[in-house]
Structure 1
Amino acid sequence: MTRVHTQLIGAAALSLALAGITSAHAAPSGTVAFLMPDQASTRYEQHDFPGFKAEMGKLCPDCKVLYQNANADASQQQQQFNSVIAQGAKVIVLDPVDSTAAASLVHMAQSQGIKVIAYDRPVPSTPADYYVSFDNEAIGKSIALSLVEHLKASGVAGSKGGVLEVNGSPTDAAAGLIKKGIHEGLQGSGYKTLSEFDTPEWAPPKAQQWVSGQVTRFGPQIVGVVAANDGTAGGTIAAFKAAGVNPVPPVTGNDATTAGLQLIIAGDQYNTILKPSEIVAGAAAKVAVGFLDGKPVKGETTLFKTPSQLFKPAVITQQNIKAEVVDKGFANAKDLCTGRYADGCKKLGIGG
């Protein structure tokens, strides 16, 4: 396949050097909050927060880090936001449950001299002080193009049917960017979009329920599915299997979760996006320490009138999962090759 953003982030990006942040004098101190949106995706507990905490520990040993997860509840996130302000947070890293509702939080913090770093999901209507993320629009375009290339290489004619599109949460501006990228990737592909769905709260059961209805509606006309993350991909695959569809049409994903990688190994999911959350979390920590230190923090680009740093995504399929994920240490064979996935690992040369 033509590789679209498949070159993994190199050592230079891993260093996460941001101009103007490194300080010759002693590291500052202060309270920094890290507020994540939900627990439906395992990444926040397993990767984002540990990555942020580790980098803060290196850059600012005297800093206090507050962590909260809103469990997909915008009201709860507002309470958590108020709580960390009351606890003296000078910088808040915010991954909003509701990107529109978050505008009032940004206003409130900035009116009190508190810096807000939008994380993963932007706040389109109000400029935060910084935005750090993987390039969400590029993610959507990459997974869609990868699927299209696979369908064409497999000899699937556009006249045979079309694709389903399972998008992320309608309250998540990052999901909107992924959706925009998916539309760009499918445009002019020759494969029509049979139907699409914005999945409330990114919840896999809700994706599964919707896809089940579409399988009944369209049947063999469905030649592929562009799912916006591994959770919705898993729900999609479960819907096809419950309907007795075999083989399952190729399904995309995003986040390179253990479950998503295992589905790729098994041949049930076609692709995912490798975007090690620790990279973005580390970058957010560097920006936060820069703000605490009173240093000017410049973005590499601007998005929604906000200085931004966007990292490039990498598409993962069976073709490169061993070389790019396992061999480079982003996941290990012991975790991936369990139970029914052992045979698939053996075929792909993963593990002993």
Structure 2
Amino acid sequence: MNAMTRRVVIGTAAVSMALSLAACGKAGDDNGDEGGKDGGNKTIGLLLPESKTTRYESFDKPLIEAKVKELCSECKIDYKNAGEDVSRQKQQFDQLMAAGVKVIILDTVNSSAAKSWVEAADKKGVKVVAYDRLSEGPVSAYVSFDNEKIGQLQGQGIVDALGDKAKDSNVVMINGKESDPNAALFKKGAHSVLDKQVKKVVYEQTGEWDPSIAGKKMGTAITQLGKDGFDAVYSANDGMAGGIIAALESAGIKDVPVGGQDAELAGVQRILKGTQAFSIYKPYKPEADLTAEVAVKLLNGESIDSLITKKLDSPSNKGIPSALIQAQVITKKDIAGTVIKDGLFKASDICTADFAKACSAAGIK
């Protein structure tokens, strides 16, 4: 065999090997029919927005993980928390896409920013389930609570806490993060009640879902309005309510009803102690379980019509398959029959030494 012949044979063999490898790669690609065999399409991505609100790490994550495992023993969850950073969440989303994940549960930091990510996922056949917050873009499903209704419950909670004085009362509002679509719905719902049933909302700012920022905003309100310039405080969640109440106590202000949301442990304890008037109990397990069921069905190419009964619109997309779970106001008298009965907390979790007397007075053992 001369040199020319050897070069032809070697070149032909190299081309043949390259074609063979390309064919193998295509057969095992996540986009192919056999993609699941490498485990890529048996992984569900879970992206949560932040950890300052205790619910995400303490409840949402473990509940979703447990339900997915129950429904699909071979499935895995690839979990990431954005720490309230849009850029970080974008990077996490891209990492899941690059890893071949076919279903992503997304609780977005910024709904409008996520629009382009969801569009990119849709073009690649990746299903995105919007969890708790409705992301823009062509999401495959949305599971949350009726967030405008929650705002109405919060507003009514303030009115009820004020009692007969409500129509002559001024209210301070500390809202959630403006880039969170839920915060806008809470605010809208609360205003629909407060604007009709109290004298005036005299100060309104965003607390960014941050107890420290909410406390500072409350301090500014006290400075501008004076200690007697308001009668109640609406806080969009319990975390911020903690910062607000600390600011009130620091200023020596007592007996001003403060309402929150999420039924966090610290919030429930403040309700028992009497420094927080109420919270909103959102049963996380039904929300998490339903989301897990939707995600597993989408992963398996099954219909979700039996699970999703509503159609909702986002600013960019119409008719999004949706399911909304109901919430309720809880005051001191409701704690035993809600968060304890449903297993969100044990009585021993709530009734630590500092709250033992308050628990006893409320009949919690």
Whether these two folds match at TM > 0.5 is yes
1:158 correspondence with 2:167: yes
Following superposition, the deviation at residue 344 of structure 1 comes to: 0.8
**Residues 41, 101 of structure 2: 8 Å contact kept:** no
1:281 correspondence with 2:281: no
1:138 correspondence with 2:149: yes
5 Å-filtered alignment, 1:256-267, equals 256-267=263-274
- 2:188 is matched with 180
- 1:239 is matched with 247
- 1:335 is matched with 349
- 1:198 is matched with 206
2:145 maps to a residue whose letter is F
Following superposition, the deviation at residue 157 of structure 1 comes to: 5.0
Q: Percent identity?
A: 40
1:223 correspondence with 2:231: yes
Return the index of the structure with the highest Cα Rg: 2
Following superposition, the deviation at residue 278 of structure 1 comes to: 2.3
Determine the C-alpha separation between the residues in 1 that align with 2:102 and 2:41.
10
**Residues 50, 278 of structure 1: 8 Å contact kept:** no
Q: CA RMSD in A?
A: 1.5
Classify 1:41/1:173 alpha carbon distance in 2 versus 1 (closer, same or farther; 3 Å). Answer: same
Higher relative contact order (CA 8 A, sep 6+): 1
Aligned-partner SS, 1:150 = helix
Determine the C-alpha separation between the residues in 1 that align with 2:224 and 2:167.
18
Deviations 1:155-214 (A, max 9, x none): 32533x4001111001101111111111112131033101111222x1110000000110
Aligned-partner SS, 2:69 = helix
> Normalised by the size of structure 2, how large is the TM-score?
0.84
Classify 1:326/1:53 alpha carbon distance in 2 versus 1 (closer, same or farther; 3 Å). Answer: same
Following superposition, the deviation at residue 326 of structure 1 comes to: 2.1
Stretches of 4+ aligned residues off by more than 4 angstroms: none
Unaligned runs of at least 5 residues, structure 1: 1-27
Following superposition, the deviation at residue 221 of structure 1 comes to: 2.4
Deviations 1:46-78 (A, max 9, x none): 100100000000111111210000000000000
Following superposition, the deviation at residue 282 of structure 1 comes to: 1.0
| Alignment length (residue pairs) | 318
**Residues 162, 191 of structure 1: 8 Å contact kept:** yes
**Residues 227, 253 of structure 1: 8 Å contact kept:** yes
> Normalised by the size of structure 1, how large is the TM-score?
0.87
**Residues 64, 291 of structure 2: 8 Å contact kept:** yes
2:110 maps to a residue whose letter is D
Following superposition, the deviation at residue 96 of structure 1 comes to: 0.5
Determine the C-alpha separation between the residues in 2 that align with 1:342 and 1:96.
38
Deviations 1:220-273 (A, max 9, x none): 1211111111011111111100111123x1111111110110010100111111
Unaligned runs of at least 5 residues, structure 2: 1-39
Aligned-partner SS, 1:127 = coil
- 1:318 is matched with 332
**Residues 29, 60 of structure 1: 8 Å contact kept:** no
Determine the C-alpha separation between the residues in 2 that align with 1:191 and 1:302.
36
**Residues 143, 253 of structure 1: 8 Å contact kept:** yes
**Residues 49, 107 of structure 2: 8 Å contact kept:** yes
**Residues 51, 279 of structure 1: 8 Å contact kept:** no
Classify 1:187/1:237 alpha carbon distance in 2 versus 1 (closer, same or farther; 3 Å). Answer: same
